[in-house]
Structure 1
Amino acid sequence: MASKTLTFSVRPRGKPLHKLPEELSLSSASTSSDLYTQLASSTKTSIHRLRITKGSDGSFIPNTSSRPVSDTGLRDGSSIYVKDLGPQISWRLVYVLEYLGPLLIHPLLYFLLPSSSSPTLLQTLSCTLITLHFLKRELETLFLHRFSSATMPLFNLFKNSAHYWLLAGLNIAFWTYRSSSPAAGDSNPWITWPSVALYVIGELGNLNAHLVLRSLRSSGGNERGIPHGFGFGLVTCPNYMFETLAWVGICGVTWSVASVLFATVAVGQMAIWAQKREVRYRREFGGKYQKKRSVMLPGLW
């Protein structure tokens, strides 16, 4: 079928964009990525700052080269709204900066806080496990993860970083490495070493899940697939399940309420993400996807 020219009415949403055209014409064979490219070129704005929605129902039009613009529901004469999302920062850099906080804070306070005696076994183990956890995250961010979105609004960086720098960094470190900390006392081997074992299982399981997820997306692509493998037949997001196991192990070593607080907040947030992913899998893949009763913790959530 021969392609035809589609002309759209263009309107700003929120703050007006400089030189935003009132109309835009594209071939019906063009992709939604071409739509973003033309608007970015016209407004002299980074393509990552733009969010385009349909005027008919307000639904989001994704920036992808795999979807013809005619498949988005847009027709000749349709209206589109264009929003400037503001200054952006790459997701990869976001994660690097988030995890850098606890990665630096824990070794620093481990050496600075104890005043009357050397760090105990539990304090040394706590620093080692937490530092390795965030070092692993940094390495995965730099060399393993493939992101579906290139950037996020710069303003969100400060909110996201506070979660790690304050809750996982300063809060846990301050209450764990002080001489009056419960971790400054003697360890109970019946609790400490099973906790370390749980941590190791959690970290290795989490790494395996990330490797599976990486294999579903090509470099620079944003395609999605159905993950299979260890843990994926049990819950929607085994990466979150194993992350939880690792933090249960850390809590068993630190004996810190601060660790429990961070783990509780983190698990709650991961549970929300896991539920959304289950909904998305069911919507995108239909009968091809085996529905899960538990999205993160078997029999619990």
Structure 2
Amino acid sequence: MASKITLSVEPRGKPIGKLPKELVISLSDSGAALHESIAQISGASVHRLRITKGSDRSVVPNSKDTSIEATGLRNSSVIHVKDLGPQIAWRTVFIIEYLGPLLIPALFLFPLRPLVYFNYDQPLPNPSNVQLLTCAMLTLHFLKREYETLFVHRFSSATMPIFNIFKNSGHYWFLAGFNVAYWVFRPDSWAASSEPNQALVWAGLALFVFSELANLNAHLVLRNLRRPGTTERGIPSGFGFSWVTCPNYFFEILAWLGIFLASQLNLSILIFTLVGGLQMWSWAWKKEKRYRKEFGDKYKKKRTVIFPFLF
């Protein structure tokens, strides 16, 4: 078998300047080397390129761990190259999307309070203890998210389309930021009561602390499955992983239910939890299917992907 092959290169979608019609590459070269070669010749950023096989439209991974031979490409094979458009780093997107709900609660509760609730009798009463507690829980939750983004998470892809930042930020800034803050910190909300249900407060706080720590542990387990700079994956194990596919999502939802309880059952928090939970359920099923396909009999299939015995 020849060590070098010639690939036929075709654009997919809008034209890419200087894209070669053919490319000679070694079977032992990696998928990352193929991406780098096309990026260098065409002048496009390697992060904007998506390469698929013409035979079955499967993606040729931009990975140092996957050889050209392993992808199934052979001499005269056709590859399609698509320009994904302007990109932005995953880490940057996460930092920006969490920044809104990190800052908005404290802004609504303190400096912006007279402006946001201008239609109430002035001067406004001081925030209640439950409102202060809820604000602290929201702030700690998103501070933890920012910390994990900077120091814990390892991303399988370097970038995403830049326009995704508006969609992702919209979800967090408006649904978890403005929506939650406005309703929880209203002067007439249940959280504003001077005599809150103490059972809800303590149960919510306990559930929140436990879930945040368990969620962090799950993220550390996932982080340690992947060596820095690689896209390799392993089968996760440890606390929660024997129950469901994605215990990190399970504990994330439990943490929000803790905030919901401590806030005296504010419905805006429940709405955000339900919307986010449905999205996480979809992601978790995709991950379960990927585990089954990637690891085969080595992987113990899960019937529930987020909630034990339920979903």
Counterparts of 2:245 and 2:71 in 1: how far apart (Å)?
Answer: 28
Q: What letter is aligned with 2:91?
A: R
Counterparts of 1:76 and 1:182 in 2: how far apart (Å)?
Answer: 69
Counterpart position of 1:269? 279
Post-superposition Cα deviations, 1:46-92, rounded to whole Å, max 9, x if no partner, equal 10100000111111111011111011111101100000001100001
Post-superposition Cα deviations, 1:85-144, rounded to whole Å, max 9, x if no partner, equal 011000011100000001111111011326521111110111000000000000010011
SS at match of 2:126: coil
Q: Is the 8 A contact 1:29 1:68 kept in 2?
A: yes
Structure 1 consecutive aligned stretches of length 4 or more whose deviation exceeds 4 Å: none
Mapping for residues 69-218 of structure 1, pairs under 5 Å:
69-111=68-110, 112-113=112-113, 115-185=123-193, 186-218=195-227
SS at match of 1:15: coil
Q: Is the 8 A contact 2:28 2:69 kept in 1?
A: yes
Counterparts of 2:9 and 2:76 in 1: how far apart (Å)?
Answer: 10
Q: What letter is aligned with 1:132?
A: L
Counterpart position of 1:249? 258
The correspondence for 2:268, drawn from 233, 250, 258, is 258
CA apart distance, 1:3: 5.2
How many residue pairs get matched? 300
RMSD over aligned Cα atoms: 1.0
Counterparts of 1:231 and 1:137 in 2: how far apart (Å)?
Answer: 20
CA apart distance, 1:181: 1.4
TM norm structure 2: 0.95
Q: What letter is aligned with 1:256?
A: N
Mapping for residues 220-239 of structure 1, pairs under 5 Å:
220-239=229-248
SS at match of 1:60: coil
Q: Is the 8 A contact 1:172 1:258 kept in 2?
A: yes
Mapping for residues 42-57 of structure 1, pairs under 5 Å:
42-57=41-56
CA apart distance, 1:205: 0.5
Post-superposition Cα deviations, 1:12-41, rounded to whole Å, max 9, x if no partner, equal 000000000011110111111111010000
CA apart distance, 1:197: 0.5
SS at match of 2:47: helix
Q: Is the 8 A contact 2:203 2:262 kept in 1?
A: no
Q: Which moved more, 1:180-189 or 1:142-151?
A: 180-189
Q: Is the 8 A contact 1:19 1:43 kept in 2?
A: yes
Which sections of structure 2, spanning at least 5 residues, go unmatched? 115-122
Q: What letter is aligned with 1:145?
A: H
Q: Is the 8 A contact 1:55 1:81 kept in 2?
A: yes
The correspondence for 2:289, drawn from 265, 279, 285, is 279
Counterparts of 2:66 and 2:175 in 1: how far apart (Å)?
Answer: 41
SS at match of 1:70: helix
Q: Is the 8 A contact 1:203 1:246 kept in 2?
A: yes
Q: Which moved more, 1:25-34 or 1:92-101?
A: 25-34
Counterparts of 1:161 and 1:286 in 2: how far apart (Å)?
Answer: 36
Task: State, as a whole percentage, how many aligned pairs show the same letter.
Answer: 55
Counterparts of 1:128 and 1:271 in 2: how far apart (Å)?
Answer: 27
Q: Is the 8 A contact 2:31 2:62 kept in 1?
A: yes
CA apart distance, 1:252: 0.9
Post-superposition Cα deviations, 1:194-219, rounded to whole Å, max 9, x if no partner, equal 01101111101000000101111111
Counterparts of 2:220 and 2:132 in 1: how far apart (Å)?
Answer: 30
Counterparts of 1:17 and 1:69 in 2: how far apart (Å)?
Answer: 22
SS at match of 1:10: strand
TM norm structure 1: 0.98
Q: Is the 8 A contact 2:8 2:78 kept in 1?
A: yes
